[in-house]
């Protein structure tokens, strides 16, 4: 990243992707999702960079709807500004902490999972199917 002239969109996406937990998926133009399972959403508009903690909910048994919990919105400068990346990096750290705090450990298998992979607060979907006879 240079210190002269405006930042190019592809440069910004690469810089933002480097701040996210791997793997990084570009879900749509201007939207990056980092982590597996997903942890952070970064959305770039023509004027802002928005950082969200990843969240999802089931809309029926086969449709996972992605959402996010907003952590920060940062104005997009017209020229290179190191402060933008530092602020976004801090917000990504906060978003990851928020997301990871939602994970639960299955009492049947002992694996820790994000909430959308849990049948309820104590049993993951895999164990619910295998041990409890739940059909999704």
Parallel, antiparallel, or unpaired for β 40-44 and 104-105? unpaired
The pTM of this model reads 0.85
Segment 50-92, tens digit of pLDDT: 999 999 998 988 899 988 999 999 998 766 677 899 999 999 9
The pair phi, psi for residue 49, each rounded to 5°, is -120, 125
Segment 75-86, tens digit of pLDDT: 987 666 778 999
Distance, CA of 72 to CA of 16 (rounded, Å) = 14
Burial of 131 from C-beta contacts in 10 A (0-12 / 13-18 / 19+): middle
The pair phi, psi for residue 89, each rounded to 5°, is -60, -45
């Amino acid at each position: 990243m240079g210190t002269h002239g405006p930042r190019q969109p592809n440069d910004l996406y690469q810089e933002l992707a480097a701040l996210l937990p791997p793997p990084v998926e570009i879900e749509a133009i201007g939207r990056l999702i980092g982590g597996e399972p997903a942890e952070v959403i970064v959305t770039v508009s023509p004027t802002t960079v928005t950082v969200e903690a990843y969240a999802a909910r089931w809309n029926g048994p086969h449709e996972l709807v992605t959402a996010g919990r907003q952590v920060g919105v940062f104005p997009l400068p017209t020229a290179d500004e190191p402060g933008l990346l530092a602020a976004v990096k801090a917000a990504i750290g906060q978003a990851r902490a928020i997301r990871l705090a939602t994970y639960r450990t299955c009492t049947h298998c002992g694996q820790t999972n994000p909430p959308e992979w849990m049948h309820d607060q104590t049993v993951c979907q895999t164990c619910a199917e295998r041990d409890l006879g739940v059909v999704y």
